[in-house]
Structure 1
Amino acid sequence: MKLIATLILCLLLSPFVNAQAFVYKPVNPAFGGDTFNYQWLLSSAEAQNKQKDKTAVTPTQTDLEKFKANLNAQLLNQISSQLYKQQFGTDGIKEGSYTFGSFSVDVFPSSEGLTLNILDTNTGEQTQVIIPNQ
């Protein structure tokens, strides 16, 4: 009797039972997960790492050295600000080629925005800065 009642109960409830596919997706990009998780996983692992590099030397700066570095940064900021105003004026950056000492800067519009190609003529190093369209 109990068996028949249980069977009838299961048959009556079966149309209301739903199921879905169970799919596993790994998180770690090394095992097929999304590559955008890499930086998060790396920073998480580094945050949990209690080991310290004993060979790394981190010199502490004296107050005088900190003052010197701060003054140096402010002076360089003022010089770059004056160079910017001298080359571009108050209207901002315009198309063209500019030279700042050993740096050659080419400014031109592109599909992504205003592009600046910066070349160090002494070393041959290059970099590109893109100012996005607004």
Structure 2
Amino acid sequence: MKNFLLVVYFTAGLLSHTLAQSFVYHPNNPSFGGNNPLNYSAMLNAAQAQDRNKDPATLTTSRASATTTNSLTNFAQSLQNQLLSRISSSLIGNQFGEGTLRPGTYTFGNFQVQITNGSDGVVLRIVDGQGGETSITIPYF
């Protein structure tokens, strides 16, 4: 009986050793590294949610933009936009309507508009005060 129990225990020990696997821990939580390299967005979101430091550069630019933008500047910009809109609609209306567009150079605030008759149509050359230039051709029909 002792020999039988000894053989049973020995056989059970061998079988359990051959059926066992090595246990390797793989973290699935992205905060602990995880095993998926595409979990960087979860890490970045967690870091940004905990970040309480503010970038000094964004604070100074937001203050500067808040002080330079006021109602008088907004009104002047709106007035200039309306004036340019009315001039452009008048120029287009004159070209396609009853009136004719007279060649010449016109100055509106910081903008200089030069109107010339070209071979393909009326050419509008618009130059702003900062060195920008735009050329528009209105074709003849």
TM range (shorter): 0.3 to 0.5
TM-score by length of 1: 0.33
What TM-score results when the alignment is normalised by the length of structure 2? 0.32
